Amino acid sequence: MDSPIRKIVIVGGGSAGWLTAGVIAAEHMADSPDGISVTLIESPDVNPVGVGEGTWPTMRGTLRKMGITETQFIRECDASFKQGAKFAKWVTGAEDDAYYHPLVLPEGYERINLAPFWQQQAPNIPFADAVSYQGHICEQDLAPKQNTTPEYAHVANYAYHLDAGKFSVMLQKHCTEKLGVNHILDHVEGINSHPNGDIKTLNTRNKGELEADLFIDCTGFNSLLLGKHYQIPFINKRHILFNDTALAVHVPYESDKSPIASHTISTGQSAGWIWDIGLPSRRGVGHVFSSEHTTDDKAEVELRNYVRQSVGDKADELTVRKIPITPGHRQVFWHKNCVAVGLSAGFLEPLEASALVLVELSAAMISEQLPATRGVMDIVAKRFNDKFLYRWDRIIDFLKLHYILTKRTDTDYWVDNCRPETIPEDLKQQLALWQYHSPWHSDFTQIDEVFPSASYQYVLYGMGFKTQTPATARRSSNYQMAMESFRKNQQTTDKLLRGLPTNRELIEKIREFGLQRI
């Protein structure tokens, strides 16, 4: 129990495996004789799922810590800038039904809650437009910065859209060539245990036994170590989040000068929604839906009809790939000397790009709290499990929030999503409170919440939720500050609309000239 943790084996590649390897190897100097040994083993016959093209702004810090330049990332991963999400046809289903969840916080967010003042002063202006400038930027397909802005710095907060396959290839190359990660292509055919139940070694087909002190399961839906070996139960959340199937397709642009959307577009359908992500070379489009409320064939018709709006009859020629989804997560994520990261830990529909951020957060916590010995590993494991069970619950709440305020009654899917028995109790309680006060910092207990109160505001008020505004709001000491914040946001909006390049213009300049190093 007192033996030091010196060897880590990661089973499985893809974005989850290589991000985890890179984060740990960079912080614990895997390329040094004094560092932690990091080995990644993956089967040459298993292809990664290959979707998950949306990230959070956290990815900028993750890549920087790993020593990857933003220029390299943009060039090698067919990446573009993402500044939020646009939700179309989620409220009424009408053609003009849309709202934004931007990545910038509302103006003056640390000092003042603008929501009560917005409801009094500008209820006819969309909430996101009244308190932030980013929706206007996205509507014009503008970039979040200029080509003179240094790497990873920003004018408007941003994340990325990326090609998941190319991302894994870049991470693998960087981890093995720059960070000292050992890469083994082989099949895991058996697992050997210590008397206390810890994993001792993995039996591989060609390399013999592979020993480690900590094993990280990145084997995707297979969950080879945590699920199959340890039989950790899977908690199915389909009674809350109905969607269990996705159909994905790559859509070509009309020309190499076509605009690149600076946001994810999520468009409601009869029994699900369609994602639309703009990369420099193509669009990634997919239909996520509930098999209880429609069929694969009907969902594919809706997907091709959506694509047909931009590419015409070419929509009928595109190859559609089916991806089954089981929404939910493992009962615990760290058991004995094994921790699951990525799809092996769980998966939910990609409505707010939570898959890759959970990988980042998991890898960061494993690396930052890497137990010095086996004796303290159980303490770290309990902290990890508590933290991530909380995070999964909050993500599930937040995703469900997008559905339960809909006014759509055109199909059973939307009606069923509003049934009280499908809504988590914590979310019901929050909604009851938010009838009388707008979401704010004190509504959430963790200092590192996955979604800040601002995100709840954007979705609530984008969906048309009403909070009873105090009659004293106009006379409060914050009234003048609120009015000044609204004016400042309008000024910033006007300035950025004049000064920012388009998403495509900036990406092309980065590919040609690169960005300045910080």
DSSP 272-340: EEEEEEE-SS-EEEEEEE-TTTS-HHHHHHHHHHHHHHHHGGGGGGSPPEEEE---EEES-SEETTEEE
Question: Is 219 in contact with 48 (CB distance < 8 Å)?
Answer: no
Lowest mean pLDDT, pick from 41-50, 68-77, 106-115, 279-288? 41-50
For 305-325, how does the pLDDT look when each residue is reduced to its tens digit (9 = 90+)?
Answer: 999 999 999 999 999 999 999
Q: Tell me the CA distances in angstroms from 177 to 33, 188, 232, one per residue in order.
A: 16, 24, 35
The pLDDT score that the predictor gives to residue 81 is 98
259 shares its domain with 313: yes
Give the end of a domain, one of 373, 393, 413. 393
245 shares its domain with 316: yes
| Domain-located, residue 490 | yes
The pLDDT score that the predictor gives to residue 49 is 65
The pLDDT score that the predictor gives to residue 361 is 97
| Domain-located, residue 1 | no
As given in the structure block, the two tokens for residue 280 are: 């420099």
17 shares its domain with 112: no
142 shares its domain with 244: yes
| Domain-located, residue 181 | yes
The pLDDT score that the predictor gives to residue 459 is 98
136 shares its domain with 190: no
| Domain-located, residue 435 | no
Lowest mean pLDDT, pick from 42-51, 86-95, 431-440, 494-503? 42-51
Give long-range contacts, CB 8 A cutoff, 24+ apart: 446-453. 446/390, 449/394, 450/354, 450/357, 450/361, 450/391, 450/394, 450/395, 450/398, 451/352, 451/394, 451/395, 451/398, 452/105
Report the amino acid identity of residue 185: L
The pLDDT score that the predictor gives to residue 46 is 78
Report the amino acid identity of residue 201: T
For 141-158, how does the pLDDT look when each residue is reduced to its tens digit (9 = 90+)?
Answer: 999 999 999 999 999 999
As given in the structure block, the two tokens for residue 484 are: 């000044």
CA distance 47 to 33: 32
72 shares its domain with 170: yes
172 shares its domain with 69: yes
The pLDDT score that the predictor gives to residue 475 is 73
Tokens 């010995």 locate to 373
| Domain-located, residue 407 | no
Question: Is 70 in contact with 63 (CB distance < 8 Å)?
Answer: yes
220 shares its domain with 310: no
Boundaries of domain holding 105: 84-152+239-326+470-495
The total of structural domains in the chain comes to 2
Give the end of a domain, one of 374, 393, 412. 393
Residue 50 has pLDDT above 70, yes or no: no
| Domain-located, residue 464 | no
The pLDDT score that the predictor gives to residue 47 is 75
Lowest mean pLDDT, pick from 265-269, 357-361, 447-451, 467-471? 467-471
pTM for the predicted model, two decimal places: 0.96
Give residue 463's pLDDT band: very low, low, confident or very high (50, 70, 90): very high
Question: Is 21 in contact with 175 (CB distance < 8 Å)?
Answer: yes
292 shares its domain with 263: yes
Question: Is 510 in contact with 280 (CB distance < 8 Å)?
Answer: no
74 shares its domain with 164: yes
Give the end of a domain, one of 393, 414, 433. 393
Average pLDDT, the chain: 95
The pLDDT score that the predictor gives to residue 434 is 96
CA distance 87 to 106: 18
141 shares its domain with 193: no
β-sheet bridge partners, residue 248:
286, 321
As given in the structure block, the two tokens for residue 479 are: 């009234």
For 430-443, how does the pLDDT look when each residue is reduced to its tens digit (9 = 90+)?
Answer: 999 999 999 998 88
148 shares its domain with 249: yes
| Domain-located, residue 347 | yes
Residue 52 has pLDDT above 70, yes or no: no
Give residue 200's pLDDT band: very low, low, confident or very high (50, 70, 90): very high
CATH of the domain at 227: 3.50.50.60
| Domain-located, residue 139 | yes
- Reference 1, options 375, 335, 381, 337; nearest CA is 375
